[in-house]
A and B are shown apart, each in its own frame.
Chain A
């Protein structure tokens, strides 16, 4: 692990871009996931929304893997001053959890498509087929992964609320650079 003495004061362009892109996609996917699983929805629309959800979910999986790899191999941004050890640990834990869940939740979605006895192909953006994972198909496994995917997704939503709340707290109460440096704004007084 790199020491913060070597670290940057701000995030690089890739980190900022991936952070906001993944955030936007995850929020969109949670809304889409909620709407498409309503029992009253038109069946043709439901089918279409599921396919969009799968395409964007695969995109999130790809971007989150890049982000996770990037977080391993690149120098971390230095924490802002004035944070207690507990605050720092809480922030670190939250960041690690979000980085991991951004990979795990779409992976769980891929598992649903893979274990489903419906065997509906994942045809990402109607461009290429993403093969199913080599797992046994059963209705029980599909039900299990569907629950896991949904529970973890809503858990992510709760974490994102806490994460965003903390960022707003830093910005408005602490008046430090936590939020604005993730916005890519360099000058801040």
Chain B
């Protein structure tokens, strides 16, 4: 398997486009960015669920934690661990929040955490990667993947946008379908502080 660093270096050298991207977002070399990071509270864990006829539910989680390491020359074996507390869900509607915390959806009294642990990271572009791992929620585990794009880097903190789609039915949370889509769309900002 070709290593992520090799791709990164090759693309940065060969592509004028990627150099402009690098200039715009400050893409570090993996050697520079390698290390362990703790996910900070500046991160924004947002989701939305579409509803029939337009609109939908938008929300975020206020309580979460996690870490990742970026291995120099070995992005494939880099690792992300993330967990959030479903109790901290917020949609701007207290009745919706209470319903989401109830046994109908998160059952946050019995399942305090939702966790994600990566098992594979593939670089898909100079500033992009595909992260696959296991999501565990409400006693159910399933493989999920997210598209990650590097957005900021200043030598100490690194920022990404993380997008993914998750089917509620895999976690016994598909109440309200088909009025509310089975698909939960995540469009998150994750910031890591170098340890």
User: Contact: A129 with B103, CB < 8 Å?
Assistant: no
**Which listed residue (A42, A43, A118, A123) contacts B178, Cβ 8 A?**
A123
Most buried by B among A48, A51, A121: A121
Given A42-B103, A43-B104, are A129 and B53 also a contact pair (CB < 8 Å)? yes
Taking CB atoms and an 8 Å cut-off, the chain A residues in 128-154 that contact chain B are 129, 131
Interface 1/0s, chain A 88-120, versus B by CB < 8 A?
000000000000000000000000000001111
In the complex the two chains form, what is the Cα distance from A42 to B103 in whole Å?
8
Q: Closest approach, in angstroms, between the C-beta of A141 and any C-beta of chain B?
A: 15
Is B157 among interface residues, defined by CB-CB distance under 8 A?
no
Please tell me if the beta carbons of A47 and B175 are within 8 angstroms of each other in the complex.
yes
Q: Distance in Å from the Cβ of A127 to the closest Cβ of chain B?
A: 10
**How many residues on the A side are at the interface (Cβ–Cβ under 8 A)?**
15
The count of A-to-B residue pairs whose CB atoms sit within 8 angstroms is: 37
Cα(A119)–Cα(B93), bound, Å: 11
Q: Which residues of A contact B96 (CB under 8 A)?
A: 118
Are the CB atoms of A44 and B103 closer together than 8 Å?
A: yes
Shortest Cβ distance from residue B87 to the other chain A in the assembled complex, whole angstroms = 15
Whether a CB of chain A sits under 8 angstroms from the CB of B179 is yes
Complex CA gap A177/B74 in Å reads: 90
Residues on B close to A: CB < 8 A?
Answer: 51-53, 55, 93, 95-96, 99, 102-104, 175-176, 178-179
30 A–B contacts, CB within 8 A, in A order: A42-B103, A42-B104, A43-B102, A43-B104, A43-B175, A44-B103, A44-B104, A44-B175, A47-B99, A47-B104, A47-B176, A51-B179, A117-B93, A118-B93, A118-B95, A118-B96, A119-B55, A120-B51, A120-B179, A121-B51, A121-B53, A121-B179, A123-B52, A123-B53, A123-B179, A126-B178, A126-B179, A129-B52, A129-B53, A131-B53
